[in-house]
Chains A and B, each alone.
Chain A
Amino acid sequence: MGMTLAERILAKAAGRDHVAAGEFVVADIDLALLHDIFAARVFALLADVGVEGVFAPDQTVVVIDHLVPAPSPEAAAIHQEIREHVSRLGIAAFYDAGEGICHQLLPERGHVRPGALIVGTDSHSTTYGALGAGGTGVGTSDMVYALATGRLWFRVPETIRFELAGALASGVSWKDVILYLAGRFGADAAQYRAMEFGGPSVANTDMSSRLTVSNMAVEMGAKFGLFAADEVTDAYLRDHGGAGAEPYGPDPDAGYEAIHEVSLSDLSPQVAMPHEVDRVGPVEDVAGLAIDQAFIGSCTNGRIEDLRVAAEILAGGHVAPGVRLLVAPASRRVLQEAVDTGVLASLVGAGALILTPGCGPCFGGHGGLLAPGERCIGTHNRNFTGRMGSAEAEIYLASPATVAASALAGHIADPRTLGVASG
C-alpha cells in the first residue's frame, strides 16, 4: 500500500523505503526550533548531560518571541542566557526580540522545505505542514535528546484526510474552516494522528490560509497538519528566499483511517466559545455579546493578509467606546509591509493599540491580559480557562474579519453585515 504524507515524511527521515502507521521509528531531524520560554532550559540541560555542541548548528533555529520586549528582569535575564548559548553554539539562525513569532519566521525566512521533519518546543509547530513539512511539537527533554543526537523516536501516526470542496462565501475565511472542523469533529478527533487537507477547495488557497489551518491542526490533537506541496507552495518558497519545489503529496493508494468530505460553500463565519476550541458555532449564535477586548495577531492570524482584512473593515471607522483593540503583527516584515501599504495607518487611525511582533497576550504571558469578568474576542488559537490572564475571563476565537467587525461594534458582530470581502 502507498504512503500518506505523514508516512512519506517519516520514512524518509528514518532512512526507510516504507513505513506504516503504528510503527515506531527513530528519525533524523531536519530542523529544530527553540523559543525563549524553553531555549535556556534546553541549552542548560544539554550542558548538564555533557554535550558540548548541537548536532547541526545550521539546522537549529532559535527565536525570542514569547517574552518580547522583556516584561520582567527575569525574562531579560533568560534572553541574555539564550544569546550567550546561541553565540557559543554557533547558531546563525537566531531571531532576537521583535523579529517575530517563530511559526511566522520559519516559513517567511525560508527555513521550511516540503518533506522535512521539523521539531519545535512549541505545540503550533504543526504550522509547517502548510508547506508539506512534518512539523510537530516536543518538550524540552525530547529537544535535548534531538539536539544531542540529531534523532528522535516517533510513532508513525494514522492519517485522517479532509476532502474539502466548494468556495467560501464572502466574509468567510479559512480560520472559519478550521474552527468549523474543530467544532464538528472535536478537539481530540485527530489525537495522535496526522491530518491531511486536500480536495478542490485547497488548490486555490493561498499560503497564508494554509498556515492558519495547519497551525490549528494541533487544536484537534494532531501530530501533523499537512497540505501537499503544489504550485502555491512552489511560488511561496521562491518568494521567500528559497528554491522552488516539486509537487510533494501522498501516494494515490495511501491508506487512511478516515476520509471526511466537507463542503465549505454554506459556511458562516465561525466562533469558538469559552472555554474549548471545539465549542464552535456560527457567529449568528453569539452576535451581540458585549466585548472588552479584541485581539488581532498570533501565529494563527497575524500575517499581512489578516491585518489587511482588518484594516479594510476598520478604515475610516473607530473602535467602539470601552473596547481595546490590540494588534500584534506576526513579524517585523509583516509590520513593515503594514507600514508600507497603509494598513497600519488604517489600524492606528481606528484606535488600535499596536504591539511588538510576538506571542505576549495569546499565551497569557503579558501585554493585554484580561481581568475577571472581561470578555475578549481574538484571532488566536486557544480559549482555555485562564489562557489570557484571569480564569474568570472569557475568550472567543474568530477570524480577523469577525474580530475587526466586533471591535467596531463593541460586541461580537457578523462581518458580512458590514459588506466586507473575505480574508
Chain B
Amino acid sequence: MDNEFLRGRVWKFDHDISTDVLSPGAYALDSVEVRKLHVLESVNPAFATSVEPGDVIVAGRNFGCGSSRETAPENLQALGVACVVAESLSRLFMRNAIAVGLPVLVCAGIHAAIADGDDVEIDLATGRIRDVESGTALQGDSLPNEMLEILAAGGILAVLRNQRGT
C-alpha cells in the first residue's frame, strides 16, 4: 500500500464471526464474484449489496474463527473492505488476510468505542485508530514489520513473485 493511512465507514459486527459466515461452505467452489454476494448474509443480509469500497469492518472477539478459508479475507477484499479491526482475530483469518494483502488490526476496546456507520481513520503502521465523529482515539496492536512488508508487497504471492523475479 502506498498510503497506510486509511479512512472509511464502519460496519460493526459482534463476536465469533466465523468463516462459515464470511465464506459459506456451499459456495466453496464458486468464483469470488459469486462468493462475495454471500458474505455475512446470515448475520446482515444487506451487507454484501450495500458495502462500499473503502469501508471498514469493526468486530468483537475471535473474528474469522473456524475453517481455514482464505476465501474469507478474499471475499471481503473483493467487496472493497479496506481493513478489519477486531477485539481479537482468529489466527487463521489473520494469517490468510496478510497472505492476500488485506489489512487487519487487533484493538482492545474497539467494539464498545466505535458505533456502526461512524467514519474512522486508521494508521496501520502505528496501530492508531480515530473515530472521526466522536474524536475517540484508540491504540491497537501495531503489526510487526514482517507482516507490514507482506501487506506492502500486496500479499505473499507478490512476495514470491518478487523473489523469483517473475
Residues of chain A having any CB pair with chain B under 8 Å = 24, 37-38, 45, 49-51, 66, 72, 74-75, 78, 120-123, 125, 137-142, 144-145, 148-149, 153, 155, 187-188, 191-192, 218, 221-223, 276, 363-365, 382, 384-387, 389, 391
Chain B residue, CB-CB nearest to A148: B160
CA distance A387 to B16 in the complex (A): 14
B65 touches A187 (CB 8 A): yes
Q: Which of A137, A140, A382 is the most central at the interface, judged by chain B CB atoms within 10 Å of its CB?
A: A140
Residues of chain B having any CB pair with chain A under 8 Å = 16, 18, 20-21, 24-26, 28-29, 42-43, 61-62, 65-70, 88-92, 94-96, 99-100, 144, 146, 155-157, 159-161, 163-164, 166
B70 touches A140 (CB 8 A): yes
CA distance A188 to B92 in the complex (A): 12
B99 touches A141 (CB 8 A): yes
Contact residues in B for A24 (Cβ distance below 8 Å): 144, 146
B54 to chain A, nearest CB (A): 23
Known contacts A192-B91, A221-B91, A382-B20: A138-B160 contact under CB 8 Å: no
Which of B18, B96, B159 is the one whose CB lies under 8 Å from A145? B159
B144 to chain A, nearest CB (A): 7
CA distance A391 to B40 in the complex (A): 11
Contact residues in A for B29 (Cβ distance below 8 Å): 37, 72, 74-75, 78
**What 4 pairs between A and B have smallest CB-CB spacing?**
A139-B70, A139-B96, A364-B25, A391-B42
CA distance A144 to B70 in the complex (A): 12
CA distance A139 to B166 in the complex (A): 22
Known contacts A121-B68, A139-B96, A192-B91: A145-B156 contact under CB 8 Å: yes
Q: A72-B29, A148-B160 are in contact. List 11 more A-B contacts (CB 8 A).
A: A37-B29, A50-B164, A137-B92, A139-B96, A141-B99, A141-B156, A188-B61, A192-B91, A365-B28, A384-B18, A387-B18
Chain A residue, CB-CB nearest to B65: A187
B95 touches A139 (CB 8 A): yes
Q: Which of A120, A148, A192 is the most central at the interface, judged by chain B CB atoms within 10 Å of its CB?
A: A192
Q: Which of B92, B99, B100, B146 is the most central at the interface, judged by chain A CB atoms within 10 Å of its CB?
A: B92
CA distance A364 to B91 in the complex (A): 22
CA distance A191 to B66 in the complex (A): 12
CA distance A66 to B16 in the complex (A): 24
B160 touches A145 (CB 8 A): yes
Chain A residue, CB-CB nearest to B42: A391
CA distance A141 to B88 in the complex (A): 22
A142 touches B20 (CB 8 A): no
Known contacts A139-B99, A391-B42: A192-B94 contact under CB 8 Å: yes
A364 touches B24 (CB 8 A): yes
Which of A74, A188, A365, A386 is the one whose CB lies under 8 Å from B62? A188
B136 to chain A, nearest CB (A): 24
Contact residues in B for A221 (Cβ distance below 8 Å): 62, 65, 90-91
Contact residues in B for A223 (Cβ distance below 8 Å): 91
CA distance A153 to B89 in the complex (A): 18
B159 touches A365 (CB 8 A): no
B99 touches A142 (CB 8 A): yes
CA distance A365 to B67 in the complex (A): 13
CA distance A147 to B69 in the complex (A): 18
A118 to chain B, nearest CB (A): 13
B27 to chain A, nearest CB (A): 10
B25 touches A138 (CB 8 A): no
CA distance A391 to B44 in the complex (A): 12
Which of B43, B100, B146 is the one whose CB lies under 8 Å from A141? B100
Contact residues in B for A142 (Cβ distance below 8 Å): 95-96, 99, 156
Contact residues in A for B24 (Cβ distance below 8 Å): 364, 386
B88 touches A364 (CB 8 A): no
B146 touches A153 (CB 8 A): yes
CA distance A387 to B92 in the complex (A): 18
B95 touches A138 (CB 8 A): yes
CA distance A389 to B42 in the complex (A): 11
Known contacts A145-B156, A145-B159: A187-B26 contact under CB 8 Å: no
CA distance A77 to B127 in the complex (A): 44
Contact residues in B for A149 (Cβ distance below 8 Å): 160, 163
A385 touches B161 (CB 8 A): no
CA distance A386 to B62 in the complex (A): 18
